[in-house]
Structure 1
Amino acid sequence: MNSYGNVELNIFAIILLIIVIANMHRGSREYLPDQKLFLIMCIAVTCILVFDSMQWICDGHPGQLIYYVNLISNLFYYALQMLPYLFWCLYIRYQIKMDVKEMMKAKVLLFVPFLINIALSILTCFNGFFFYIDNQNYYQRGEYFWISVVMTYGYFLYSIIYLLVNRKKTERNMFVSLMLFTIPPVIGSLIQVFNFGFALIWPCVTISLVIIYINIQKNQLYTDYLTGLYNRRLLDIHLNDALRNNEKPGSIGVIMLDIDGFKHINDAFGHVVGDQALVETANILKKSIGRVGFTARYGGDEFVVIVPAKDASEIEAVASEIEKNIELFNKRESAMYSVHLSMGYEIFECGGRVSKNDVLLRIDRQMYEKKLRNRVLKNQIIIQ
Structure 2
Amino acid sequence: MVTLKTLDSSIISFIILVLIYINVYNRSEKVFMHYRLFIYMIQANMVLIIVDILAWVFNGLPGTLNLISNTGFNLLLYILVPVAPSLWVIYSNFHIFRDEKRIFKATRVLVAFIVINAMISVMSLFTGWFFIVDTGNIYHRGEYFWVHVVYCYLLLVYSFFYVLINRSLIEKRHYYSLLLFFIPQTIGTSIQMLCYGVTYNWTGMMLSLLIIYFNIQDRGLNTDYLTGVYNRRQLDGYINGKIRNSSDGKSFSAILIDLNDFKSINDKFGHETGDEALKDTVGILRKSLRLNDFVARFGGDEFVVIMDINNRELLKQAVNRISSNIEEFNESSIKPYKLSFSMGYDIYDYNSKMKSDDFFNHIDTLMYNNKKQELSVGRGEL
TM-score of the pair, normalised by structure 2: 0.94
Structure 2 CA distance for partners of 1:338 and 1:159, relative to 1, 3 Å: same
Aligned to 1:341: 341
Aligned to 1:129: 129
CA shift for structure 1 position 206: 0.9
Distance in 2, Cα, partners of 1:306 & 1:104: 35
Deviations along 1:202-257, one digit per CA (max 9) or x if unpaired, are 12101111221222122112221222221111111111122222699722110001
Distance in 2, Cα, partners of 1:79 & 1:351: 66
Structure 2 CA distance for partners of 1:48 and 1:267, relative to 1, 3 Å: closer
Structure 2 CA distance for partners of 1:289 and 1:248, relative to 1, 3 Å: farther
Deviations along 1:107-149, one digit per CA (max 9) or x if unpaired, are 1122222221111111111211100012322211101101111
Contact 1:249/1:351 (8 A) holds in 2: no
Contact 1:130/1:144 (8 A) holds in 2: yes
**How many pairs does the alignment contain?**
382
Unaligned runs of 5+ in 2: none
Letter in 1 for 2:212: I
Contact 2:172/2:292 (8 A) holds in 1: no
Aligned to 1:150: 150
Distance in 1, Cα, partners of 2:287 & 2:195: 47
Structure 2 CA distance for partners of 1:51 and 1:370, relative to 1, 3 Å: same
Structure 2 CA distance for partners of 1:119 and 1:18, relative to 1, 3 Å: same
The correspondence of residues 184-203 of structure 1 with structure 2, limited to 5 A, is: 184-203=184-203
Deviations along 1:166-193, one digit per CA (max 9) or x if unpaired, are 1011111100111111110100111111
Contact 1:45/1:84 (8 A) holds in 2: yes
The correspondence of residues 96-107 of structure 1 with structure 2, limited to 5 A, is: 96-107=96-107
* Identity between Structure 1 and Structure 2 (%): 37
Contact 1:244/1:351 (8 A) holds in 2: no
Secondary structure class of the residue paired with 2:252: strand
Aligned to 1:36: 36
Secondary structure class of the residue paired with 2:233: helix
Contact 2:130/2:144 (8 A) holds in 1: yes
CA shift for structure 1 position 28: 4.1
Deviations along 1:65-107, one digit per CA (max 9) or x if unpaired, are 2211111111111111011111111111111222211221221
Letter in 2 for 1:87: L
Distance in 1, Cα, partners of 2:243 & 2:112: 51
RMSD, aligned CA: 2.1
CA shift for structure 1 position 369: 0.7
Aligned to 1:272: 272
Structure 2 CA distance for partners of 1:108 and 1:350, relative to 1, 3 Å: farther
TM-score of the pair, normalised by structure 1: 0.94
Distance in 2, Cα, partners of 1:296 & 1:204: 35
The correspondence of residues 203-352 of structure 1 with structure 2, limited to 5 A, is: 203-245=203-245, 250-332=250-332, 334-348=334-348
Contact 1:243/1:352 (8 A) holds in 2: no
Secondary structure class of the residue paired with 1:299: coil
Letter in 1 for 2:47: C
Contact 2:177/2:212 (8 A) holds in 1: yes
Structure 2 CA distance for partners of 1:197 and 1:349, relative to 1, 3 Å: farther
Distance in 2, Cα, partners of 1:248 & 1:99: 43
Deviations along 1:142-167, one digit per CA (max 9) or x if unpaired, are 01101111110111122112101210
CA shift for structure 1 position 317: 1.2
